[in-house]
């Protein structure tokens, strides 16, 4: 249950938008509460609001968008429903490996379950429940689903412009040296 200017049911696999300056309380029903909180600071670009605010968005209500090859995604929060500083999505990766590609935005990704593998030009890391990683703009990468079911990834990116999408690399390109190390948190 979400209490924010009234009470709203908060079903499993839902996203809730709590804006800066607001106070919200989330309470568990009988099955307990699992919560992943993502906050975006004031330094993130603000984008034009393209639709009315939705306080709660269930995963099942979010439209499924095809990406490429083995991937699709669902946008939970973005400028279309009130989030003007970041977009929250669920990426769905079918078994196998997609081609090397990059995005034009900064992205943080959390893995609720595995197994999978995250590939960069200089190596890779296993993905399992609780793994997370950060992608810098234009950083070539591949997310591989090494399991038999759909691998889900929960991500937040800025800027909010979904229309930028991703760019596939026709052939692998070496990544330029990074000024800072790539962050990979395995949940331990």
Average pLDDT, the chain: 78
Per-residue pLDDT of 156-184, as tens digits, reads 988 644 333 334 343 333 334 434 433 33
* pLDDT exceeds cutoff 60 at 63: yes
Q: Residue 30: what pLDDT? A: 67
Q: Residue 31: what pLDDT? A: 67
* Within a domain: 1: no
Give the number of domains in the chain: 1
* Within a domain: 136: yes
* Within a domain: 10: no
Q: What's the CA gap between 124 and 107, in Å, rounded?
A: 17
* Within a domain: 11: no
* Within a domain: 4: no
* Within a domain: 22: no
* Within a domain: 135: yes
Q: What's the CA gap between 111 and 102, in Å, rounded?
A: 19
Q: Residue 161: what pLDDT? A: 41
Q: Residue 150: what pLDDT? A: 93
> Considering only CA atoms, which of 154, 157, 151 is closest in space to residue 135?
157
* Within a domain: 13: no
**Residue 126: which domain range?**
41-185
Report residue 132: phi and psi, to 5°: -145, 160
* pLDDT exceeds cutoff 90 at 185: no
Average pLDDT in the 4-9 region? Answer: 81
Give the domain CATH number at 107.
Answer: 2.60.120.10
44 and 157 Cβ atoms separated by less than 8 Å:
no
Residue 75: CB partners within 8 Å, gap ≥ 6? Answer: 62, 63, 65, 87, 88, 89, 162
């Amino acid at each position: 249950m979400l209490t924010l200017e009234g009470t709203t049911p908060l079903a499993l696999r839902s996203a809730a938008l709590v804006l800066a300056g607001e106070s919200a309380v989330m309470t568990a029903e009988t099955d307990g509460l699992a919560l992943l909180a993502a906050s975006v600071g004031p330094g993130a670009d603000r984008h034009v609001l393209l639709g009315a605010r939705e306080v709660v968005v269930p995963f099942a209500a979010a439209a499924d968008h095809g990406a490429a090859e083995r991937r699709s995604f669902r946008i939970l929060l973005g400028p279309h429903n009130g989030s003007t500083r970041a977009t929250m999505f669920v990426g769905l990766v079918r078994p196998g490996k997609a081609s090397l590609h990059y995005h034009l935005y900064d992205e943080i990704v959390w893995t609720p379950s595995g197994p999978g593998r995250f590939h960069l030009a200089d190596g890779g890391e296993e993905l399992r429940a609780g793994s997370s990683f950060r992608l810098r703009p234009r950083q070539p990468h591949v997310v591989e689903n090494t399991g038999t079911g759909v691998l889900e990834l929960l991500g937040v990116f800025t800027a909010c412009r979904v229309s930028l999408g991703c760019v596939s690399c026709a052939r692998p390109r070496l990544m330029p040296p990074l000024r800072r190390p790539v962050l990979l948190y395995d949940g331990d």
